[in-house]
Every structure is written in C-alpha cells, then in structure tokens.
Chain A
Amino acid sequence: MVTRARDVGPFAREVEHTADRGLEIEAPSLPLLFERAGLAMLGLVADLARVEPRERRALRVDAEGREELLHDWLQALLVALGADGFLACELEIETMNDRFARGTMRGEPVDPARHEIHTEIKGVTYHQLAVRQTDGGWWARVIFDV
C-alpha cells in the first residue's frame, strides 16, 4: 500500500540531538515503518505537501540485517535526491524481509522556486540506529548528519 507524506505525521517524532537531527518512527508493520521513516526523513529536507507524485522510480536495497537495511533504504532516497534532484513524496514497499527491500517512490525533481526547502541531510548515521519489534508493531530510531 502506498504511504503518502501526509499520512506520516503522528507516527514520526523528532528527537533531540545537539548538532544533528534524529527521528523515532513507529508502525504496525516493517514495510510501513520503512515507508514512514523515508517520508519523515525527506520531510526534514522539504515541505512534502508541495511535492507532486509526477514520476515513479524503482528502489531496491540489500543489506546484512534490519538496521543496515533501514540505513540503506534511507540512503537510497538521499542518493536519488543528491545525484538526480529527485524528491519523493510517496513510498511503497512491495516486498521485503530482514535483508532485502524492493519498492517504488513517486515524486518529482526539486524545484527551488516552487518547493520549500528546509535543510540538507548529509548522511544517515549508524549512531544509535535501532529497529525493534514492539507489542504494537515496529519502532525505529535514526540520527542524520545535517
């Protein structure tokens, strides 16, 4: 199921970090956790309400565990933004396990005249990176270098 930027709000919370930015995200399922984490991160970069889902692009990441997979998933979104200027506002994971995720993103090229840009994220850090199963589903924490 597609997750849209506007659906993320209550499920992602910004956490205090002196120099950088951090997020805690929760979701009933792992795919939804990854979708919400991706959109919450891009929501730090720009106001996604102004981004239109005009183009669709495929995403695939492989990693050695859940935390590395979340890191690489978020990093793939940053690479699309940094190398191609592509800003996603909708994410959908089609299939995933603990070491692999495949999905799509919809969005459009960044247009500084039309999009409200907040900040640039330099990287997804491994510092305090966590993905945990909870009673109600899944929880993750990520700290970004900005």
Chain B
Amino acid sequence: MSEAVAPLPLTRVGEYVWEIPRQGGMRVPARVYASEKLIEEVRDDPALVQVANVAHLPGIVGHALAMPDIHWGYGFPIGGVAAVDAEEGVITPGGIGFDVNCGVRLVRTGLDAAALGPHLSRLGDALFQTIPAGVGSKGAIPKLTLAEQKQLLAKGARWAVARDFGRASDLEATEERGCFAAADPAAVSDTALERGRPQLGTLGSGNHFLEVEEVAEIYDAKAAAALGLHLGQATVMIHSGSRGLGYQVCDDALRTMGRAMERHGIHVPDRQLACVPLRAPEGQAYFGAMAAAANFAWANRQVMTGLAEQAFSAVLGVGPATLRFALVYDVCHNVAKIEEHVVDGQRRRLCVHRKGATRAFGPGHPELPPHLRPLGQPVIIPGDMGRYSFLLLGTAGAMAETFGTTCHGAGRVMSRAQAKKAGRGLDLVRELGKRGVTVRAQSLAGLAEEMPWAYKDVADVVDVVDGAGIARRVARLRPLLVVKG
C-alpha cells in the first residue's frame, strides 16, 4: 500500500546523522541515525513522515529520534524515540506499542556450543514443547488466579524468581531489576487481565523467538570476560513481551486518550499518536497500567528462562551446576520511562518513549548495578534467524546524543506479504539447516515472514550505532537453534 508521502527535506548533519528540519506543526527537528546505504532504504518510506509526526508531540525536547533500524510502523516508526518533559509533556501509547516491554534477554550457560550439536534436534523439540508459542497456546504453568496475577503485576520478575524460575542474581541483570515500581495493577482493565491470565510462560508469534546461540566473535575481550562470555560458549536468547495483557493495555489507552485529547486541546497528525499530559489522570492511569504490563513481560521472560533451563536439563541429563544458566542482561525495547537527561546544558526529568529502540546507558550510570557500572549497560540486538545477533554496551555518547538510546534489531526491508511470496516454494527449514541452524516453528507461513532476507543485515545497523558512538560492540552471536511461534 502506498501512503501519500510528501518529500521531506533531509540534511546530513554528521557522518551517521540526518536531520529533518522543523516545519509545520513540528515542535523540534527530527534526527535519523543511519549510514548512506540505510538512509537510501527509507528515504521514500512513510517511516520518515512518522518520525516527523513524532516531533509534533506536546512537550517533546531535543529531537524526535530514529535509530538505524527505522522502518514504517503505526503512529511512531519502529526505531522511534521521543523524550518528553515529565511535567509539561504528554505520554502516548503509540510511542510504546501494543507489546509493552517487548524485549530481549541473553542468558549465558556453562556449555560449549560445539558439544550441543548432537543434541540440538532433541533440545529443539523439548524447548518447543516446554515453552508454548503463539495463538491458542496455554501457559506452561497453571492459569493464575486473579489475586496471583495482580501480585505478579506488582512484582514483575521477582514474582517468577520467588517461584524458582531462574535465580535472584537474574534480577540485578534486568532493567529496573525486573520490576517497575510505578505499576498499578488496579489500572489494568478486566479484559486485559483476562487476556493475560492464560499466557504466562508463552513466547508469542511474529518475530518472537527463543534461540540457542554460540559466541562466534568477540570485539572487546575485557568486556566480554566481565560479562562471563567467551568464544564457543552456548547462550540462550529470548525475545518476547507482555502478550495479550500488554496488547489490551495499549488498546484501552488509545481509546481513552483518543476521546480525552480534545478536552486537553491536543491535536496530532495520526490517531495512533493519541496522547494526554503525563500528569493528567488518564496519563497517570496509563503509566501505571503500562508499568504493570511491563512487569508481566519481565515475569514472562523470567518464567521462560526457568522453563528453558528445565528443557536443557531434561535433554542433556545434567543439573544447574553444569548448565550454569545466568542472565547477562534483559532489555526492553517498547516502553516509556521517567529518566533524567541533560538537554541544552540543563538536567531535566523526561518521559522517554522508546518504540523499537533500546536503552543504552553509559558507564557510571547510577541505574546500573555495581557489576555493570564500570562497563555500561549491555544492549542485546537480535538479527535475523539465519545470520547473527550482537551484544553491545551503552556509551557516554548515547547519553549525550540520544537520551541513552540505541537500536533494537535489524529492521525489516520486506513486507510480510513480500516475504511470504519470496519464500514460496522455498524449504526454509532446509535452507536454514544448510546454514547450521535447526528450526522448530508453530507456523511455516509465520516462519516465511521472518525469513532472513526480509530483514536488513543487522551488522549494517550495528556498524552505524558503533560508528556514531551510541553503543559499542562486544560480541557477535551465531544462531544454532531457533524456536518460533
């Protein structure tokens, strides 16, 4: 479908930075981080109009930003970032997305990837059976009571650790330590609670996955060692979010805010950018519900970590002392957070919306736990399932330029319909097998939509953020086993 896209002026203002000057209702200019190659891919895309639309949000400061994995979303582009004054500005569910706290975690193990080879097929079966995937799947643990669910929404990953999914040290390696204190379970609608109740411990479909990966290349030996990583080591990566509960929290808020905007005298160029002042009752209710949904997502990823450990243990016949599962880090890439940043020389309290963008706090940031403070925040960047993913670290450059933010993934180049057409007649499971990747998927059609060629080469994206200094490379991870919904 082609959207009427007015050509936008785009000026290069740095080696990897392009600016759309302020015009029309834009309150600030917009900036896109990209190489020449990546900017050409989006130059005529509605994604650039969307990042300019983001600049219309009341209270936005600095620039409306887009990371190099930018692509056309709904409302915000994927890869979009907006920092809005926490006192005077707005909050928009469109800047977070339906899948609140969609995120990625990387778990290191005590296993050699090479030794896993003969077990990958059985491991794939076990993981696929232990961690239910998409539509119609029920959680691997009994359906929660309403009281249990509300406790979970208040406690996040701590709820899961208290039930022996993973370990307490995992919490230190999770953004917000796996629990948004602002969570208000009472602000979550009954419908959202119903949608989420059967889904704890489920992966979801689309681009969500669980992968077993090998540490294939190390760029910073000291940082990798500090994170407990070495060449040839097996790791587990999980990409999932808040499931139906988060989707409904977003939908509920879009409806409420769509109606409330007129009352607040707010006009935005896309209904999907519906927003209200953060300090208004509707803004506070959404923030509390969004934080509760974020806690659901952290608990969900923590539960799946425990389930994955159980599957490894059953297949390999070894216990925790040999598996040595430990969380390297867990990032959210669809969320809004209250943070302090320096804007034009002044420290300001901001509501930073990241939609398909990852927090990348630099070394010394007080939010980081002591073991990570000297390094900077680990940032996990999944690529496509046929090539590689990356582990990066946040930088002082990100703090100075992008509100402590970097990219979140590869970014699509093909629509899902195009990918399905391109994949017709292709035995994708076999093709991936030739590349040494074992696959278990609920849906072959869904698998085709996620084919490697549907995505940009994530290395191109990582080159930009590393080159621009808004994150730095630590390691490259190669997929061995992919489990998809």
**Given A75-B251, A79-B191, A82-B244, A18 and B412 contact (CB-CB distance below 8 Å):** yes
| Inter-subunit contact B74/A125 (CB<8 Å) | yes
Chain A residues in 8 Å Cβ range of B97:
145
Contact residue among B78, B136, B272, B414 (Cβ-Cβ distance under 8 Å from A110): B136
B137 at the interface (CB under 8 A from A): yes
Contact residue among B98, B199, B271 (Cβ-Cβ distance under 8 Å from A123): B98
Report the minimal beta-carbon distance from A24 to chain B, rounded to whole angstroms.
Answer: 8
A60 at the interface (CB under 8 A from B): no
Q: Can you list, as one digit per residue, whether each of B256-274 has a CB less than 8 Å from chain A (1) or not (0)?
A: 0011000000000011101
| Inter-subunit contact B485/A143 (CB<8 Å) | no
| Inter-subunit contact A83/B244 (CB<8 Å) | yes
| Inter-subunit contact B195/A83 (CB<8 Å) | yes
Which residue of B has the minimal Cβ distance to A63?
A: B255
Contact residue among B73, B247, B415 (Cβ-Cβ distance under 8 Å from A82): B247
Contact residue among A16, A64, A119, A143 (Cβ-Cβ distance under 8 Å from B418): A16
A76, B4: Cα distance in complex, Å: 30
Contact residue among A18, A45, A110, A124 (Cβ-Cβ distance under 8 Å from B415): A18
Contact residue among B73, B204, B418 (Cβ-Cβ distance under 8 Å from A20): B73
A19, B271: Cα distance in complex, Å: 18
B13 at the interface (CB under 8 A from A): no
| Inter-subunit contact A117/B442 (CB<8 Å) | yes
| Inter-subunit contact A79/B195 (CB<8 Å) | yes
Chain A residues in 8 Å Cβ range of B181:
none
| Inter-subunit contact B205/A120 (CB<8 Å) | yes
- Near B by CB (< 8 A), chain A positions 22-54 give 22, 24, 45-46
**Which of A3-11, A90-98, A99-107, A126-134 faces chain B?**
A126-134
Chain B residues in 8 Å Cβ range of A85:
136, 138, 198
Partner-B contacts on A (CB < 8 A): 14-22, 24, 45-46, 64, 68, 72, 75, 78-79, 81-85, 87, 109-112, 115-120, 122-129, 141, 143, 145-146
Q: A112-B442, A123-B98, A127-B270 are in contact. List 7 more A-B contacts (CB 8 A).
A: A79-B248, A82-B247, A83-B194, A126-B274, A128-B74, A143-B74, A146-B205
Partner-A contacts on B (CB < 8 A): 1-3, 45, 47, 71-75, 78, 97-99, 134-138, 191, 194-195, 197-199, 204-206, 244, 247-248, 250-251, 254-255, 258-259, 270-272, 274, 412-418, 442-443, 445-446, 449, 485
> 8 closest pairs, A vs B, by CB?
A110-B136, A127-B74, A15-B1, A126-B271, A123-B98, A82-B244, A83-B194, A125-B74
